[in-house]
Amino acid sequence: MKTILVAGGAGYIGSHMVVLLSRRGYDVIVADNLQTGHRQAVRGARQLYVGDLRDTAFLDRVFSENRIDGVINFAACSLVGESVKDPLKYYGNNVSGAISLLSAMRTHGVKNIVFSSTAATYGEPEKQPIEERDRTEPTNPYGATKLAIENMLKWCDRAYGIHYVALRYFNAAGSDPEAGIGEDHNPETHLIPLVMKTALGQRDHIGIFGDHYPTADGTCIRDYIHVQDLTLAHLSALEYLEKGGSSDVFNLGSGTGYSVSEIIETARRVTGREIKAVVEPPRPGDPSVLIASNQKAKMVLEWQPSRGLEQIISDAWAWHSGHPNGYEE
């Protein structure tokens, strides 16, 4: 049985990754500082180590006490707006944490890592859908730190033989109703959870930032992917590395995307609630369309998403309606 370390495994996507790995017969350990993660979200891991990746003694203990075969790294600060206001926090946490993690991998001879990156590495896209070979010019420190880690991984591959897959994606959504885990951020900034909170009456309305974009219904189009499809992609990347695949970068996305109005209408249908929407002024710099091409992931990783918007909203509603206050810590 292979042992996988999931860094950030108490967070939203990380906790879903832990569940999938344990279902597939992996021995899973989690390292998380619980800054934004939740202890109750960790289901199926053999052990949760609570500590900071930047603490080298902590990481050495994690690696010394376990024979780790591979690492999946979700650990990061991830609020775009906050990153602009406090870039040093993001470089300090995201990049320094990755340096410590890679150093521990090098010391303990662990050769495979799947890195949870972001489509924010691209910045303002030149074209749609975005492809992996398109230019990378992040427009915020969050995206810049993820790109810095991708570049570091490339050099670590050359120098130390640490093989990696970096996965770039936009918006994860949905939940795993069977496992009883879901999305619980504070503050919450993502559209679908905010729509769910509006449906629950926890918010008066959901804001639509502009309705005059050059799209079919005038609202922005974004790429959403079900969190369970996302974790399957990380598993495919891990298996690809285990089979000797070479280091690479892949986009993950629906390939089509959904508009803000589509999401609200689908949520009204799924929840049976009114969900008041108010058109507000557009946010400066908001592109009308952001979609990631998933062709390369389809070809190389043999992965493609199978859950559409209806399922994303339905599973998100199952979580939020059943856990209106999240994990209630």
* Active-site residue identified among 49, 142, 213, 240: 142
Which sign does the torsion angle of CA 104, 106, 109, 113 carry? positive
Task: Establish whether 142 is a catalytic residue.
Answer: yes
Alpha carbon distance 68, 54 (integer Å) = 18
Q: Which residues participate in catalysis according to the annotation?
A: 142
